[in-house]
Amino acid sequence: MARPLYAQINLSALRSNLARVRELAPRTQVLAVVKANAYGHGLFRVLPALEAADGLALVEPEAAFELRERRYTRRILMLEGFFAESELPEFAQRRLATVVHDHEQIRMLEAATLARPLEVFVKVNTGMNRLGFRPTDVADVCRRLSSSPSVAALRLMMHFARADEDDGIAEPLAVLESACKGLPYPRSLANSAGVVRFPEVGGDIIRPGIMLYGATPFPFDSADMLGLKPVMTLRSALIAVQELKANESVGYGAMYTASRPHRVGVIAGGYADGYPRHAPNGTPVLVCGRKVRLAGRPSMDMLTVDLSDVPDACVGSPVVLWGEGLPVDDVASAAATLGYELLCAVAPRVPYVTSEVGGIDLEL
Ligand SMILES: *Cc1c(COP(=O)(O)O)cnc(C)c1O
């Protein structure tokens, strides 16, 4: 008998979300962003559902190397580029495309002798001030790189800091335009928010991440409104039921006190599984397909919920912590974080089950 908590990964939902990306941005190349182990879904678990993507983008060299070892043949873009000169031959040997975002990386490329030149994405800092060259340096950077024998082809890339806001792209786009004036290279601009909100400016190569996994990049538009389906459903079950009397409390710190007698369900799942510890009373949870509220502070291994509205719930009743029927974004907003963080934070001790369709896997 296994602990009832597991993450179910629905590959058909992922295929459907990728199709939605294609629908929104029909004439672009799609690099599916799979950093952080495919946003916590498992890179090699989801790979079969990403066949329709033109390539992948990530930040971890080890994962990229393993993709090539496992015979992934399409494009792979390293979003933070290489970190040391010694990685360059390994990138070249494995045909990894790389971001170049600072002068030190240019120096390393110029110093290297590579078996095969690299496809390089020149990152332009359009105001996010994280990675990238100053707009006024871009033309010179491209000139230097295009004459380096280590470089096979150039692309221009930028990242929006506020693509989820209506006025978030005009200024960075203008900066990009002036930085790249006359440069004939293909461009890669949009992440998920950009793909959804500004598909016309996404450029030639788009880089959707979160939307592929069925969560929203926006604070207000839900994934459902965007036509996206949840890929991960974190499922569990009730492992105990308590009868609370009025004025009795539940859990550490007695953060929840019953104002009237009611039942409390105890769920296998806690912060050591990746559930946010700071989720407050009232955070939504599904029990028997019905929405109930967290009652008491999440502990390492358990959560407690108010069962007043689910009289038939008992030990063994099915629970959804997020996913089908309960958007991860709803749990995230209750806990003052993002769907991104919750998905990426599912802990190593949680077992995964892959299914081609949604719904409860009857074999479990
Ligand atoms: C993570 C990342 C993306 C994907 O962003 P989403 O908001 O998940 O779509 C795109 N581009 C870069 C450079 C990234 O680091």
Tell how far the Cα of 209 is from the centroid of ligand 1, in angstroms.
Answer: 5
Domain shared by 124 and 53, yes or no: yes
- Averaged pLDDT for residues 204-220: 95
Query: Which band of pLDDT confidence, cut at 50, 70 and 90, is reported for residue 361?
Result: low
Query: Which band of pLDDT confidence, cut at 50, 70 and 90, is reported for residue 55?
Result: very high
DSSP string, 175-212: HHHHHTTT----EE---HHHHHH-GGGSBSEE---GGG
Domain shared by 25 and 127, yes or no: yes
Whether residue 210 has its Cβ less than 6 Å from ligand 1: yes
Domain shared by 267 and 176, yes or no: no
Tell how far the Cα of 206 is from the centroid of ligand 1, in angstroms.
Answer: 10
Residue that is last in its domain, among 213, 242, 263: 213
- Give pLDDT, residue 360: 64
Please check whether residue 118 lies inside any domain of the structure: yes
CB 298 within 8 Å of CB 276: yes
- Residue 262's domain comprises 232-355
Whether residue 105 has its Cβ less than 6 Å from ligand 1: no
Domain shared by 202 and 242, yes or no: no
Domain shared by 294 and 201, yes or no: no
- Give pLDDT, residue 364: 43
Residue that is last in its domain, among 181, 213, 245: 213
Ligand 1: atom nearest CA of 35 is 1
pLDDT of 202 > 90? The answer is no
Catalytically annotated residue among 35, 72, 123, 229: 35
Domain shared by 133 and 54, yes or no: yes
Whether residue 79 has its Cβ less than 6 Å from ligand 1: yes
| CATH number of the domain enclosing 17 | 3.20.20.10
Domain shared by 204 and 58, yes or no: yes
pLDDT above 70 as % of the chain? 98
Annotated active-site residue 35? The verdict is: yes
Domain count, the chain: 2
| CATH number of the domain enclosing 257 | 2.40.37.10
Tell how far the Cα of 136 is from the centroid of ligand 1, in angstroms.
Answer: 24
- Give pLDDT, residue 109: 97
Query: Which band of pLDDT confidence, cut at 50, 70 and 90, is reported for residue 192?
Result: very high
- Give pLDDT, residue 363: 44
Domain shared by 154 and 197, yes or no: yes
pLDDT tens for 215-260 read 999 988 999 999 999 999 999 999 999 999 999 999 998 899 999 9
- Averaged pLDDT for residues 60-86: 97
Domain shared by 37 and 142, yes or no: yes
Query: Which band of pLDDT confidence, cut at 50, 70 and 90, is reported for residue 204?
Result: very high
Please check whether residue 91 lies inside any domain of the structure: yes
Q: Are strands 29-33 and 205-206 parallel, antiparallel or unpaired?
A: parallel
Please check whether residue 297 lies inside any domain of the structure: yes
CB 18 within 8 Å of CB 212: yes
Whether residue 194 has its Cβ less than 6 Å from ligand 1: no
- Averaged pLDDT for residues 46-70: 98
Please check whether residue 225 lies inside any domain of the structure: no
Distance (Å, rounded) from C-alpha 22 to C-alpha 195? 10
Please check whether residue 219 lies inside any domain of the structure: no
The chain-wide mean pLDDT, for the chain, equals 94
pLDDT of 345 > 90? The answer is yes
Higher-confidence position of 292 and 179: 292
Least confident of 34-48, 139-153, 195-209, 229-243: 195-209
Please check whether residue 24 lies inside any domain of the structure: yes
Distance (Å, rounded) from C-alpha 117 to C-alpha 273? 43
pLDDT of 51 > 70? The answer is yes
Please check whether residue 182 lies inside any domain of the structure: yes
Catalytically annotated residue among 123, 229, 252, 291: 252
pLDDT tens for 150-174 read 999 999 999 888 878 878 788 888 9
pLDDT of 362 > 50? The answer is no
Whether residue 339 has its Cβ less than 6 Å from ligand 1: no
Domain shared by 207 and 236, yes or no: no
Instruction: Give the contacts of 238 (CB within 8 A, at least 6 positions apart).
Output: 265, 266, 267, 287, 313, 314, 315, 316, 317, 319
Domain shared by 347 and 266, yes or no: yes
Higher-confidence position of 44 and 171: 44
> If 0-12 CB within 10 Å is exposed, 13-18 middle and 19+ buried, where does residue 75 land?
middle
Domain shared by 35 and 90, yes or no: yes
pLDDT tens for 250-299 read 999 889 999 999 999 999 999 999 999 999 999 999 999 999 999 999 99
Residue that is last in its domain, among 213, 245, 271: 213
Please check whether residue 156 lies inside any domain of the structure: yes
